[in-house]
DNA sequence: AATTTTTGTGCAATCGATTGTACAAATATA
DNA sequence: TATATTTGTACAATCGATTGCACAAAAATT
C-alpha cells in the first residue's frame, strides 16, 4: 500500500515481495542482485514514478553529490562563465552545483562557507574576495578534509589545488603586441590594491618594455580603481603630459573603456594616435567602437579544469594527495582598438 | 567522548549530561527549554565547533531549505541578475539556491527537474527554454505539491505563479519615445519565432504608431533571429528602401547593435538620421558609441519578486492557494542612440 | 556423494536531527 | 492544602536509503 504520496524503496519492495535492501542494491546495480530482480525493480520503480531521495542517501552514505561554488558575484561574465565550466563537468558526473555569492565581503564569505559545510557539500570551489586577507575560514574546510579548489585568485599559504591565469604572460603578450604595432610610449593603468593579479600584470608590462629596450617612464604608470571613471581620470592625466603616450594597456576593460571615451571626446584617433588594450575580455569589448583589444581569461576552460581538479582530489587517497597548481595561458584577442596595420611578415 | 571527527548534537548532549532532543530544541529556540540550558548548549556547540547537519535535518523535517533555479544559461546578464535577486531574498531567509542551466534544451530541462526533485528542493523557480513546447515535466512538479514559480517566459496553461515583464508596454514606451524625438518612419526588428514576448513587443510597436496616427508600413517590419548578424542584414535591407526609416526599434540589443554597425559603416548619423532603440539593456549597451537606448527588464527586481512569490506560496495553505501573475513595468533607458534633443516642455 | 564456493536475498543497525508523547518538578489557582 | 497548570527534559520513533553480516539455495569442485 502506498502511503502519503512519496514513493520509497519500501513501496517498491512491498509490491514485489522483496526487501528494501534488495531494491536499493538493485537500483545501484549491485553485482549480487540477479538480473531478473534488477529488471523487475526498475520496471516497478518506473511504474510507480519513483524518485530517489538524495537527502536520505546523502545522510547514510555521507556523500551529497553537491559542490559548493563561491564567487564574488554571478553578475560578472567572467565568474558566471567559470561556473558554467564547473557545472558542465559536474553535471556530466551527476553532481549538482550550489552557487553562493560573497559580494567580496569576508563576513559573507564566512557565513557562506558555514552554510555549505552544513549542507554537507562534497567539496568547495572558490574565488576569494578582494577584501579577504585572512584565510582561517578556508583552512577550516581543509581541516575537515573536504576538497577545496581555488580559482582565479590564488593563495600561497593554503595547501590546496589552484587554477589561475598567467597574468604576467597575458600582460606581456598585450604589451608585446602594442610594441609590434609600433607603439613606443605605452602607458599602464594598474590597481591601487596590491593583489598579485595586478602586480603580475605590471611585471609583464615592465618586462615586455625592458625586453624591447624601452626605458620605463613612471609618469606613464597610473594607479586607480580600474573602473570606467578611473579610466577617464587617468586618461585625462596622461593627455596633460608634455609627451603623450601612443598606447595604453589597462589592467581592466572598464579602465580601457574610460580611456576610449576620453580619447574620442578629444578627437584623438584610436588606434592611430593612441592604441588601447584592456584585460578580461568582457563581453562589451566586442561592441565598442573601435572594438577593444583585450586579454581573455579562458573562463570556461578555467571552470572545467577547476572541476576536474576537484574530482581528481575526490578520487585520490587523501593521505598522499599533493595539491596541483594549474596556470592557464590567457589569449590576446586583437581587435580594432590596437590593430594599426596588417602585421608584416617577420624578418628572418 | 567525541567519535570520528564530526560533532553531532549527541556529542553536545553527552558533554552536558542531557539528551540530544533537548539539545535540538535548545538550538531551535524551543520555548519549553530553559534559558540556562539554551545558553549552555550554545556555548558547548561553539566550543566543540559544532556544524549542524542540514542533510539529517532535511530528511527528518522534509524541508531542505533549498530552492532549485532553472535558467537557460547563466552566461546572459539578464538571467544571472535574476538569479542574484532570487538569491538575495533566499539567503536572507536562510535558504540556499541550486542553479541549473537548461541550455534551452527540453531534454536537459527534464533531467534537471528530476535531479532537483531528487535533491528534495523545497521549490523550483524556472524560466522555460525557447524550445520548450510541452509542459508535462512542469506539471509533475505541481502534482508533487512543490511550489513552482515561472519567470520571464510565462505559460497560460500551468496553474502557477508567474513573474513577467510587460513587453507590450516596454515596446510601446520605446516607440513613443522615438515619436517624441520626432521620428516618423520607425522600423521594427522582430523574431521569426512567434513567442509571446516578441508578439507582445510587436503589438506595442503597432499600437504606439496607431495612437500617433502613423500608418503601418510593413516593409519596415523585418523578421530575423535578432542576433548581431541578423541586425546587420536587416539594416542593409532597410537602407535599400526608397524611403529610408528614421528610426529602428529592435526587439533585441544585439539586433540594434548590428544596425548600429551598418549605419556607421554607411556614415549615417545616429541618432540624427536614424535613431536606435534596443531591448533588454544588455550591459554592453552602455559602452557602444553612441550608447544604445534600451528597455531594461528589471532583472534583479524580477528575481526578488519571484523569490517572494515562492515564499508566499510556501507560507500559504496549499488548498486555497491562488497563483498570482505579476507583470513588471519595464524601464526605458534613454541613451545617445535615440536622444536627439533635450525634450521640450509639454504643451498644455 | 560430500564439501566448498558462489549467488541472491533478508535482517537490522545506521546516518543525525526532529518531534509526539510522557512525566516529574515547579508554580499557580481554588 | 489540594488540585490544576505550566515548565523543563527524557524516551523513542521516525525520515529513506545504505550496508555489514548472516544464511539458504544453487553451482562448482573434489
CA distance A323 to chain B (A): 23
Q: B144: Cβ under 7 Å from strand D? A: no
Q: What is the pLDDT of residue B3?
A: 39
Q: What is the pLDDT of residue A348?
A: 45
Give me the CATH topology for the region A167-297: Rossmann fold (3.40.50)
Is the pLDDT at B335 greater than 70? The verdict is yes
Q: What is the CA radius of gyration of chain A?
A: 27
Which residue in chain B is spatially nearest to A67 when comparing CA positions? B98
Closest nucleotide to B25 by C1' from CA: C18
> Can you give the distance from the CA of residue A60 to the C1' of nucleotide D18 in angstroms?
6
Q: What is the pLDDT of residue A342?
A: 60
Positions of chain C reached by protein Cβ under 7 A: 7-12, 14-20
- Cβ neighbors of B100 (< 8 A, separation 6 or more) are A87, A91, A96, A97, B68, B69, B70, B71, B112, B115, B116
Select the residue of A75, A91, A98 nearest B96 (Cβ to Cβ): A98
Those residues of chain A that have pLDDT short of 50 are 1-4, 347-348
Can you name the residues that pair with B333 across neighbouring β-strands?
B294
Q: What is the pLDDT of residue B155?
A: 85
Going by their DSSP bridges, the two strands A294-296 and A331-333 should be labelled as antiparallel
CB contact under 8 A, B87 and A96: no
Is the pLDDT at B5 greater than 80? The verdict is no
> Can you give the distance from the CA of residue A58 to the C1' of nucleotide C12 in angstroms?
20
pLDDT digits (tens, 9 = 90+) for B54-100: 999 999 999 999 999 999 988 788 998 999 999 999 999 999 999 88
> Can you give the distance from the CA of residue A13 to the C1' of nucleotide D26 in angstroms?
23
Provide the sign of the torsion angle of the four alpha carbons B137, B139, B145, B148, taken in this order: positive
Probe site for chain B from A6, A64, A89, A99 (most B CB atoms < 10 A): A99
> Can you give the distance from the CA of residue B37 to the C1' of nucleotide D2 in angstroms?
32
CB contact under 8 A, B84 and A101: yes
Q: B60: Cβ under 7 Å from strand D? A: yes
* CATH class of the B61-165+299-329 domain in this structure: alpha beta
State how far the Cα of A149 lies from the Cα of B111, in Å rounded to an integer.
27
State how far the Cα of B73 lies from the Cα of A180, in Å rounded to an integer.
38
Q: What is the pLDDT of residue A189?
A: 98
Can you name the residues that pair with B161 across neighbouring β-strands?
B149
- What backbone phi and psi angles, to 5 degrees, belong to A126? -145, 150
Contacts of B291 in chain A (CB under 8 A): none
Q: Quick check: B158 and B320 in contact, CB under 8 A?
A: no
Contacts of B80 in chain A (CB under 8 A): 74-75, 80
Q: What is the pLDDT of residue B4?
A: 43
Contacts of A51 in chain B (CB under 8 A): 114, 117-118
Q: Read off the pLDDT of each residue in B116-130 and give the average, rounded to a whole number.
A: 93
Quick one: which of B302, B295, B206, B209 has its CA closest to B252?
A: B295
CA distance A280 to chain B (A): 14
CA distance B101 to chain A (A): 8
Q: What is the pLDDT of residue B1?
A: 36
Closest nucleotide to A53 by C1' from CA: D16
> Can you give the distance from the CA of residue B181 to the C1' of nucleotide C21 in angstroms?
75
String of DSSP letters for A51-83: ---HHHHHHHHS---EEEEEES-TTSHHHHHHH
Which residue in chain B is spatially nearest to A145 when comparing CA positions? B5
Q: What is the CA radius of gyration of chain B?
A: 27
pTM of the model: 0.89
Q: Where are the domains of chain A?
A: 9-52, 61-165+299-329, 167-297
Q: Read off the pLDDT of each residue in B247-272 and give the average, rounded to a whole number.
A: 97
Choose which CATH entry (1.10.1040.50, 1.25.40.20, 3.90.79.10, 1.10.260.40) describes domain B9-52: 1.10.260.40
Q: Read off the pLDDT of each residue in B17-38 and give the average, rounded to a whole number.
A: 96
Q: How far from chain centre, in Å, is Cα B341?
A: 33
* Helix runs in B28-105, H state only: 35-47, 54-61, 77-92
- Cβ neighbors of B136 (< 8 A, separation 6 or more) are none
Give buried/exposed letters for B107-117 (b at 16+ CB in 10 A, else e). Answer: ebbbebbebbb
User: What's the mean per-residue pLDDT of chain B?
Assistant: 93
pLDDT digits (tens, 9 = 90+) for B74-87: 878 899 899 999 99
D14 nearest neighbour residue (CA to C1') = B60
Q: What is the pLDDT of residue A4?
A: 43
CA distance B86 to chain A (A): 12
Can you name the residues that pair with A149 across neighbouring β-strands?
A125, A161
Interface contacts (A, B; CB < 8 Å): 111
Q: What is the pLDDT of residue B6?
A: 85
* Same fold for the pair B9-52 and B61-165+299-329: no
Positions of chain D reached by protein Cβ under 7 A: 7-20
Percent of chain B at pLDDT exceeding 70: 96
Place of cell 584610436: A270
DSSP one-letter code for B131 = T
Is the pLDDT at B2 greater than 70? The verdict is no
pLDDT digits (tens, 9 = 90+) for A286-335: 999 999 999 999 999 999 999 999 999 998 877 778 999 999 999 999 99
Is the pLDDT at B260 greater than 80? The verdict is yes
Select the residue of A80, A119, A286 nearest B96 (Cβ to Cβ): A119
SS3 assignment, position A293? strand
Q: Quick check: A119 and B94 in contact, CB under 8 A?
A: no
Probe site for chain B from A6, A54, A282 (most B CB atoms < 10 A): A54
String of DSSP letters for A102-131: -TT-HHHHHHHHHHHHHTT-SEEEE---TT
> Can you give the distance from the CA of residue A34 to the C1' of nucleotide C9 in angstroms?
10
Select the residue of B99, B114, B264 nearest A289 (Cβ to Cβ): B264
Is the pLDDT at B154 greater than 90? The verdict is no
> Can you give the distance from the CA of residue B108 to the C1' of nucleotide C12 in angstroms?
40
Q: What is the pLDDT of residue A5?
A: 63
pLDDT digits (tens, 9 = 90+) for A50-89: 999 999 999 999 999 999 999 998 878 899 899 999 999 9
State how far the Cα of B121 lies from the Cα of B119, in Å rounded to an integer.
6
Q: A20: Cβ under 7 Å from strand D? A: yes
Amino acid at each position: 500500500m502506498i502511503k502519503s504520496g512519496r514513493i520509497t524503496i519500501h513501496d517498491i519492495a512491498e509490491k514485489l515481495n522483496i526487501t528494501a535492501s534488495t531494491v536499493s542494491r538493485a537500483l545501484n546495480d549491485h553485482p549480487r542482485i540477479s538480473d531478473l530482480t534488477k529488471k523487475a525493480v526498475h520496471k516497478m520503480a518506473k511504474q510507480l514514478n519513483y524518485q530517489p531521495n538524495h537527502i536520505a542517501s546523502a545522510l547514510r552514505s555521507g556523500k551529497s553529490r553537491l559542490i559548493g561554488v563561491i564567487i564574488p558575484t554571478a553578475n560578472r561574465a567572467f565568474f558566471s562563465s567559470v561556473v558554467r565550466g564547473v557545472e558542465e563537468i559536474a553535471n556530466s558526473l551527476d553532481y549538482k552545483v550550489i552557487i553562493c555569492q560573497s559580494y567580496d565581503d569576508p563576513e559573507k564569505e564566512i557565513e557562506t562557507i558555514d552554510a555549505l559545510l552544513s549542507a554537507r557539500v562534497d567539496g568547495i570551489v572558490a574565488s576569494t574576495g578582494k577584501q579577504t586577507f585572512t584565510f582561517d575560514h578556508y583552512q577550516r574546510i581543509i581541516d575537515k578534509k573536504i576538497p577545496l579548489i581555488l580559482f582565479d585568485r590564488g593563495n600561497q599559504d593554503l595547501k590546496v589545488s589552484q587554477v589561475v591565469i598567467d597574468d604576467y604572460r597575458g600582460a606581456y603578450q598585450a604589451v608585446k603586441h602594442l610594441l609590434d604595432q609600433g607603439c613606443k610610449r605605452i602607458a599602464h593603468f594598474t590597481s591601487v590594491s596590491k593583489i598579485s593579479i595586478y602586480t603580475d600584470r605590471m611585471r609583464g608590462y615592465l618586462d615586455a618594455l625592458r625586453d624591447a629596450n624601452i626605458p620605463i617612464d613612471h609618469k606613464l604608470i597610473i594607479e586607480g580603481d580600474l573602473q570606467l571613471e578611473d579610466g577617464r581620470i587617468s586618461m585625462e592625466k596622461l593627455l596633460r603630459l608634455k609627451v603623450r603616450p601612443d598606447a595604453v594597456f589597462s589592467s581592466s576593460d572598464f579602465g580601457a573603456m574610460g580611456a576610449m571615451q576620453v580619447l574620442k571626446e578629444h578627437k584623438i584617433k584610436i588606434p592611430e594616435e593612441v592604441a588601447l588594450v584592456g584585460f578580461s575580455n568582457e563581453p562589451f569589448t566586442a561592441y565598442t567602437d573601435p572594438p577593444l583589444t583585450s586579454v581573455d581569461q579562458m573562463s570556461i576552460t578555467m571552470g572545467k579544469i577547476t572541476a576536474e581538479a576537484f574530482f581528481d582530489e575526490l578520487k585520490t587517497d587523501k593521505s598522499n594527495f599533493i595539491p596541483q597548481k594549474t596556470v592557464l595561458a590567457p589569449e590576446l584577442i586583437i581587435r580594432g582598438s590596437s590593430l594599426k596595420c596588417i602585421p608584416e611578415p617577420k624578418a628572418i
